[in-house]
Amino acid sequence: MLAGIEQVYVTGLPAGDVVTISRAAPTSPRRGQQAGTTTPVATATVDRLGSAVFRNLSQGARYVVHDQTSDWTARAQVLVAGDNPPASFYRGTVMRAGLNYIRMRDGITLAATVRPPLGRRLDDGPFPTVIEYSGYQVAAPADAVTNIIGMALGLPNDPLAPTGETYVGSVLLRLAGYAVVSVQLRGSGCSGGEADLFDLPSAYDGYDAVETVAAQDFVRGGRVGMVGISFSAFSQIVTAGTRPPHLAAIAPLSFLSRLWDVGRPGGIVNNGFAEGWLRERQANAEPAPSPGAQPYANALVATDATCRANQALRLQTRDAITAVRTQPTMTADYTRRDFTRWMAAIRVPVFGSLQFQDEQTSAYTMLDTETLLGANDRVWLNLTSGRHGEAIDVGTFIDLLAFLDIYVAGRAPEVKWLVYITSSFIWGSSHGRLPLPPSLFATYEEARRSFESRPRVTVGLERPLAAEPGARRSRWGLTSSTWPPAGAVPSTMFLGSDGTLSSTPGEPDTAAFVADPSARPRTYGPTWSTVPADKGLGFVTAPLSEDVVAAGPAAADLWLASTSTDTDVQVTVTEVRPDGSEMFVNAGVQRASVRHTEDAASTPTVPAFTFDRVEPLAAGFNEVHVQILPFAHAFRAGSRIRIVVAPVGGDHSAWAFDSVDTATPPTNTVGLGGPHASSVSLTLLPGVTPRAPLPPCKLAGQPCRPYVPAANGG
């Protein structure tokens, strides 16, 4: 039996036994209470692997576990978050090249593969060292570079090799001269425990992993950094928030602030990417060998006794999909995994990257970057248009290497010759000339001062498609000390009669549409479909007399009446260009029944949703805010800004929605002008001139279609 943070793990008992956990009686019993009596807390049935898990226990409390079938009894004291082990605990683990198992504070062991820089041995160290901490197949011990070369030559994929999601660490940083330790999240691969998606145990696993790796002889300076994209990015946010003393810096690419914003954006179940991702995580948590478990675990369990033993708790992994589907409000399951609170606690240097049209970790994260920037004056963010993979573009990677050289390696940025030699293979020949690192000939102190004087936020716009010249680079951009950029101002436009969009509300009027999500494909593929005439509303400005640059959050304030007590609504921002084509900018969705906001905390562009209650629509008009995903976009002179109000779906490539409107599509009426003046607010940046000429209509993450007016004229 093992005791963790708010949890107790029971293993090795007969399947089917009934086990109870009770709060241990105090040493000095109260009057009327016998010494040694206990208070029952929970009961569980031992699974076929001999295990049971008790959760949500009081930190620091003592418990008694009793097998009612065999009369076995054991005692445990639950750990306290932040009550960290002494340094001697971490020095007791010696890691070697290849697959290791490192012990966490609760006794669970995590698989961790040590990879020296490419072409070097661990004995050649010490090396600057980074950790990639992930639930993907990261600790698979085969060499990723060898596997990539083999696949390029037509050889089959090696199941013992790490997967592509981990190439930032297992390939790119090794090419750059860093040792990389790939740590497998508990409950996946060959790591022990059950998958819990960043509840407190795995958060403090990150702390323990950092301190264990930093204590190794091959680590230069006794301090480590963290790197990675997506899963191994938001794991950095959580780990850094626990403040390991030997963490030097983190570099999260495409990170996440709230699981809610991907699992239930606007309160609507995302049964596209989000549910698919959760399904894959649950399959990966199956005990190996099994069809869903990670290939390297399936390959190793027969010969690796630790990997085999570490499967014991896997059947205790909770059903995350059911949890998302059955919790229509933001319960404790979500708030416990709100990474924003960890952001506020980070004190080490941070270099991050986010994308406006990212549908894997969500541009909603940009609503919380103020927390990260405000809590730490050594945070630098690259924000770009495009999708998830744009996080590792050429320019961002060069900045990332300079950041790691300065804050992890403790040296001035160096030319990474292996990266430069292989750059055409890594990024494709269209990336253009690879830039040299900044401050190349500076001393360390000069390089650090130069980096720390750079703007804290760099915004890149108009990312070409991958196959076009200049791909993986923004056409132009801007910089600022803040996000939204300094000088940005909210600007409100009102939805009007005949599909107009203007700076002043019009006369009272209404416009209606049938909220039928089946009228369009759930997601867009090669072709971005037009909203059918009666299945949505469009509102457009007059042709712009000058360029208008928007950079920041956006939101709609709709007055909505419906023939149903609940409905889902999608608001999309587009640019209607002079040639009659229409470019996607960004969109947002909202379930009307979870529309409640805190008015005092709301702004025109950021409604403060509580997501803590379900309120059916009342008869008549109801105020329903919609948070549109943040964006940076230049609406060129001669173009028109368009707002589309429609059923959910069709405007995302990966997000899809389990809409309440599917069974019986209601008719939704939007108030226009007068006391029910619906509006949209964008964040505009006056005085900024975008690069000429007008870009191609289809950009990375921004599809294009012919402009077709809606039935209401816009």
DSSP 98-127: EEEEEE-TTS-EEEEEEEPSTT--GGG--B
* Predicted local confidence at residue 442, as pLDDT: 86
Q: Which residues of the chain have pLDDT under 50?
A: 32-35
Sketch out the chain's domains with CATH numbers.
Answer: 2-77 (2.60.40), 87-480 (3.40.50.1820), 489-706 (2.60.120.260)
Q: How far is CA 500 from the centre of its chain?
A: 36
Which 3 state secondary structure label does DSSP give 285? coil
* Predicted local confidence at residue 32, as pLDDT: 46
Residues 6+ apart with CB under 8 A from 142: 158, 160, 161, 162, 296
AA identity, residue 644: V
Q: Which of 351, 354, 353 is nearest to 401 (CA)?
A: 351
Strands 62-67 and 18-23: antiparallel
Question: How many residues does this entry show for the chain?
Answer: 714
Question: Cβ distance 539 to 496 under 8 Å?
Answer: yes
In angstroms, what CA-CA distances link 583 with 2, 110, 404, 473, 540?
56, 46, 37, 19, 13
Q: Cα torsion for 158, 164, 165, 170, to the nearest 10°?
A: 80
* Predicted local confidence at residue 335, as pLDDT: 87
* Predicted local confidence at residue 34, as pLDDT: 45
* Predicted local confidence at residue 423, as pLDDT: 74
Question: Cβ distance 367 to 483 under 8 Å?
Answer: no
Q: Cα torsion for 681, 685, 691, 695, to the nearest 10°?
A: -10
How is the chain split among helix, strand and coil, in percent rounded to 5? 25, 30, 45
* Predicted local confidence at residue 28, as pLDDT: 55
Which 3 state secondary structure label does DSSP give 74? strand
* Predicted local confidence at residue 99, as pLDDT: 98
Tokens linked to 642: 């368009």
Which 3 state secondary structure label does DSSP give 342? helix
Radius of gyration for the chain, computed over Cα atoms and rounded to the nearest angstrom: 27
Spatial distance between the Cα atoms of 668 and 666, rounded to a whole number of angstroms: 6
Spatial distance between the Cα atoms of 272 and 301, rounded to a whole number of angstroms: 32
- Supply the DSSP symbol for 345: T
pTM: 0.94
Q: Which of 476, 568, 590 is nearest to 518 (CA)?
A: 568
Q: Which of 10, 87, 3, 94 is nearest to 46 (CA)?
A: 10
